Amino acid sequence: MGTGPGTLHGRRAIVTGAAGGIGAATARRLCEAGASVVLADLDGPATEATAAALQADGHDAHGVALDVTDDAQVAEVLASAAATLGGLDTVVANAGILRLARLEETTPELLRKCLDVNVVGTLSTVRHGVRHMPDGGAIVCTASVAGLEGAPELTAYCASKFAVVGIVQALARELAARGIRVNGVAPGLVDTPMLADFFRERARIRDTTADVVRDGLVRSVPLGRLADPTEVADTIVYLVSPQSSYVSGVTLPVLGGETA
């Protein structure tokens, strides 16, 4: 897709939820394409370690702790990132949580937690990021296949990720006058610690084993395997790169052949 070394030379990016999984893979791919990157995550020590590994490979990377549900903290961290990098022209709002529960266990508190992190946190990250973004910047928000179609035991999570898709569509239109592109990515089954937690929790709810849950879901994927986080990261890098200069308002599924 033309997103190799040097493609994003001079770009200044922040990635939330970057301590591991898709966020860490995205930070690495952005660095490898030539960008300078601030990594942010609730787990500060893990984020700093991930950034240090990138620095050891010669990349311009910086790690910082961030709770995306704290709007004042988001404003402070985004401003600090912009000062560190000399501006921000790329924002990847990736921080998120996954919660499973049957309907009778889907309490208002559980729903609010999903919405607070996945929706409020995403919007807060973008809102404060745009303040430091020149015209022509690029934003990607991480949604999910659960933001494209409903799934059992994921009511709260689906509600939050459908909202992220709506945010992408609304802001793509609102920010178009400034040439700022806003897109989303909707991963399916990605081999991350969050997915392993999902297998275990669904197994508990259904009184089975995590391996049974995993095997059944993998069989449903036409490509017959889980995605590697780098495969989602490459999609995100494409969406912020010049190669997608006429793409905005899209949430791109990364589902291994599944349809949603």
Catalytically annotated residues: 157
Distance set, CA 170 to CA 42, 149, 186, 207 (Å): 27, 19, 17, 41
Q: How many residues does the chain have?
A: 260
Rounded to whole angstroms, the Cα distance separating 181 from 120 reads 20
Q: At residue 156, what is the residue type? A: A
Tokens matching residue 200? 């275990």
Tokens matching residue 117? 């992190």
Query: For the chain, percent helix, then strand, then coil, each to nearest 5?
Result: 50, 15, 35
Radius of gyration of the chain from its Cα atoms, rounded to whole angstroms: 17
Q: Which of 84, 79, 42, 89 is nearest to 64 (CA)?
A: 42
End-to-end CA distance of the chain: 23
- DSSP bridge pairs for 41: 65
